[in-house]
Amino acid sequence: MRTVAALVTMLCSCASSGGDGKAATDDPRDYVGKDALVDYATLKFLDADEKARFDAARKCFGERASGWEHYPLRKIGNFVEENWCTGEGARNGCSGGGFRDRPGAQWAEVGTLHYPDGWPEVFGVQIGAGHNHEGDGWSVSVSGSTNGKSILGDGGSIAFERGGQRFYVGDRYGWEIEKSRFDINANVDAWTLIDRVRQSPQALREEALSHWTQLEAEVLAALDKNEVRKCVYGEYEGNGIPPECIEKVPLSPQEADKERARISEHVAWIRSSLDNDAKGLHAALIELAPLDCF
């Protein structure tokens, strides 16, 4: 999903009761979409379930974000979005200046899509939220997007980070080695995935490990069969233009061993994190995205 980017201190009932986004026309700040505020009541959702999910998230985030920066419902290209955030640098749509990477940053966002010639009909749902923890706890972010049609790809992901290490649970899993890429498709839509891992710490653990161990096995098998390739590059000719990959060759035994260790260590850390603190990981997710939030 295009990160539904951005959250005036809460104004009237714009977010919590589905009010008129035009209430913020006197907002002195400059931000993307300010010139295209949207009255929620004008939106015509083409799917009742999408409307229900959009409304639930908008209500949930609006109630949570009292006192946060708020960027009302507005059109930005094909997107109709609303954003909330708090923390140092919470401005300019809740995404600029590396805001989300800063300790203590929190954000939430909800959006839908439209074609200009079909306005005010809207379709699809994009939802995201995150908390970059200041202390030793787990930082977590969650995002989902469905029915993006020709505008936006569909997908869902929950990312966890602590101590500079990060892993995710998603509808797809990927790993890259030089010019080789390995992908696992979990064959699940965003909302089914997010609902599934919110059920319990055990459900979160099983979902993550089933796919990460599968991906690890595929990568190790390819390394054992000497199927992974790297580039041999030509001469650098200047002007900032990268040299051309003139040939793809197998990894050396030493390089293959290094790559075996890299993925095995990563999966071992994920397993250890889930074995030792599945409850903490699950609690961080539920705090961010309660079961009734969307």
Terminal-to-terminal C-alpha distance of the chain = 17
Non-local (6+) Cβ contacts of 81 within 8 A are: 4, 5, 6, 33, 73, 74, 109, 110, 111, 112, 126
Which string of DSSP letters, residue by residue, matches 183-226? EEE----HHHHHHHHHS-HHHHHHHHHHHHHHHHHHHHHHHHTT
Are 97 and 89 in contact, with CB atoms under 8 Å apart? Answer: yes
Model pLDDT for residues 220-230, shown as the tens digit of each residue: 999 999 999 99
pLDDT at 239: 84
Model pLDDT for residues 146-170, shown as the tens digit of each residue: 999 999 999 999 999 998 999 999 9
Would the pLDDT of 6 be above 80?
no
Model pLDDT for residues 21-54, shown as the tens digit of each residue: 344 467 888 888 999 999 999 999 999 999 999 9
Q: Which token pair is 131?
A: 């908390």
Residue 151 per-residue DSSP state: T
Q: Which token pair is 173?
A: 């899993």
Are 134 and 104 in contact, with CB atoms under 8 Å apart? Answer: yes
pLDDT at 238: 84
Average pLDDT, the chain: 89
pLDDT range class, residue 17, cuts 50, 70, 90: very low
Place of tokens 């951005």: 6
- Grouping H, G, I as helix, E, B as strand and the rest as coil, residue 121 is strand
> 162-174 burial string, b = 16+ CB within 10 Å, else e?
beeeebbbbbebe
Residues constituting the chain: 294
Angstrom distance (rounded) from CA 24 to CA 10: 10
- Please report, rounded to a whole number, the percentage of residues in the chain having pLDDT higher than 90: 78
User: Domains of the chain: which residue ranges?
Assistant: 1-153, 177-277
